[in-house]
Amino acid sequence: MHYDVIVIGAGSMGMSAGYFLSKNGKKVLLLDSYVPPHNKGSHHGETRIIRHAYGEGEEYVSLALKSQKLWNDLEKLTDKQLFLPTGVLNAGSQKSTFIKQVIASSNKFNLPLEILDSNQIHERWPGISLPEDYIGCFESTSGVLKSEDCIRAYQQLAESHGANIIVNSQVRKICVHNNGVTIKTDEQTFYAEALVIAAGAWSPKLLAMLDLNVPLAPIRKTFAWFEANELYNYKNFPAFTFDTSVGTYYGFPSINDSGLKLGRHDGGNYINPDDSIAGFGELDEDEGDLVQFLQQFMPTGQKIKYGKNCIYTMTPDENFIVDTHPNYPHIAIAAGFSGHGFKFSSVIGEILSDLIISGKSENDISLFSINRFN
């Protein structure tokens, strides 16, 4: 029951961390309350967008590019297609802060970006209809990650390097020592020299066991698939993010006849992840928000096929937490990914491994300091 490192949470960040730690020779245990990939986190729903010219801030661009390289590496190591090069269209008013930051990121890092007016967008993708004052920024090198397959791929590699994964096992107690940790579940007790916490919406509860009161807010989010004609096929239609007057939306082309996938990024309802969470369609806005967007921006009369929900875990500034514990350098924390973290989970896993092994990362993670909330 003794390990070099225990990782609590075997989802997006945790599974990646488990791979990089085990690859670097550490004896690793991953614990998860469910069976990943699962619908209790922020990774399910088949797909996630990866963007490089980052509207959330230039500080993310280097990490996005490193993440893309690591996803490409993962494809080669597992011989699986995990990335679809659909391109990504970022659209919004010319006055949109998000759009301005996309352009600024592209300029600073010399990224390929094609700026199109609303007419040019409609000519290229007839399924999109934008107001005259909107522009689009098309990233041809970005695209779609198969999120659940990515987690399975990292699990495969982690286990091939000797990592042990225990599922359906909820952590009840964490005891920290100067040279290690003791982790207690309902059934067992485990010991390790180091600990990684990457538990999504359950991070506040676990961090409280370490005397950390971090402002993390779990939010219920929904998304759905709609019937789609050939205009929205992934071979000729991009993934997209739209910053609009009726909200911020993201979506995916129809992949292998799955349908046009659409979600709303802003809004949502605060929840306790331990409580029963309303399923898709139980709230009027679940379908209403998405239909409102489609009627305005993709008005081809798509009918809903089905919907799902997931959980965002938000920080006040919507930037991540990736750091070591202020008092225990042998504990690394990854939390608060605020609905835009999955694309980075490859590099975050590598960073967590580096923090445990050497206490530092070659990547700039100053933006993600846990101490910024003090």
Q: Please list the active-site residues.
A: 44, 47-48, 261, 265, 310, 343
Other CB atoms closer than 10 Å to residue 219's CB: what's the count? Answer: 17
CB neighbourhood size of 227 (10 A) = 15
Residue 192 has, within 13 A of its CA and on its CB side, a CA count of: 23
The pair of structure tokens assigned to 44 is 């399910």
Residue at token pair 């999504």: 200
Please state, in angstroms and rounded to a whole number, the distance separating the CA atoms of residues 355 and 123: 48
Stated as kind and residue range, the H or E segment containing 106 is helix 97-109
Question: How far is the C-alpha of 3 from the C-alpha of 28, rounded, in Å?
Answer: 6
At residue 313, φ and ψ (nearest 5 deg) are -120, 110
Helix axes 97-109, 61-78, angle to 10 degrees: 70
- The residues, ordered by sequence, that sit 6+ positions from 125 with a Cβ below 8 Å of its Cβ are 89, 231, 236, 237, 238
* Residue 309 to residues 49, 146, 257, 312, Cα–Cα distance (Å): 17, 17, 21, 10
CB 247 within 8 A of CB 293: yes
Which residues, including other chains, have CB under 8 Å from residue 123's CB and lie 6 or more apart? none
In this structure, what token pair is assigned to residue 171? 């952590």
Query: If residue 73 lies in a helix (H) or strand (E), which one and from where to where?
Result: helix 61-78
Instruction: Name the amino acid, one letter, at 94.
Output: Q
Q: Which residue has the tokens 């011989």?
A: 79
